[in-house]
Amino acid sequence: MAQVSKRRLDPQIESRMFALFWRSLSRFTSSEQAADFFSDLLSQTEKIMLVKRYFIAILLSKNKSYQEICELIKVSPSTINTVAAWLKNLKPATKKIIDQHLRDETWGKFFDKLESILDSIHPMYYTRHNWKEIGKAKFKNSLARSSRSVLR
């Protein structure tokens, strides 16, 4: 976890620093510029943490279960809980971005890949499910994904 100094900044200085930082981010004209900036600014661990949290938010928005997300992204349920709490209090602009990603065709291909990975993961041994029904659902999902990919 990131360490922050216990010595507090003056609130006016802190506010101005954030304003300038957000303005700097708004000046990116390409995803490559943003990637270069964050690659220089963040450590590898911080980048992974940020991306995982974002994709947890996306997957929760797609109504994926905690178990599926834990298996797919290799995170703990407490991390998912933290992101779920964040999702409940989203600002409208953030909600709009997530909704756009859920409708975007290139993201759709990525989600299809994630779902195919999820279909290959067996439910945990401690779950009490009808295995025949799970198999049918996975097969049905597979057919739907293949028909979507043909239509793209």
Predicted local distance difference test score (pLDDT) of residue 70: 87
Residue 138: what residue type? K
DSSP output for 76-138 = -HHHHHHHHHHHHT--HHHHHHHHHHHH-HHHHHHHHHHHHHHHHSPPPTT----HHHHHHHH
Predicted local distance difference test score (pLDDT) of residue 126: 42
Model's pTM, two decimal places? 0.67
Residue pair 119/141 in contact (Cβ under 8 Å)? The answer is: yes
Per-residue pLDDT 10s for the chain (152 aa) are 557 778 888 899 999 999 999 999 899 999 899 999 999 999 999 999 999 998 899 889 888 888 888 888 889 999 999 999 999 988 988 888 888 877 776 777 777 777 777 666 665 544 556 666 766 777 777 777 666 665 55
Per the listing, tokens 């510029």 go with: 33
Query: How many CA atoms, within 13 angstroms, populate the side-chain half-sphere of residue 142?
Result: 11
How many residues make up the chain in this entry? 152
Q: How many CB atoms lie within 10 A of CB 119?
A: 17
Predicted local distance difference test score (pLDDT) of residue 65: 85
Residue 141 parent element (H or E)? helix 131-151
Predicted local distance difference test score (pLDDT) of residue 140: 75
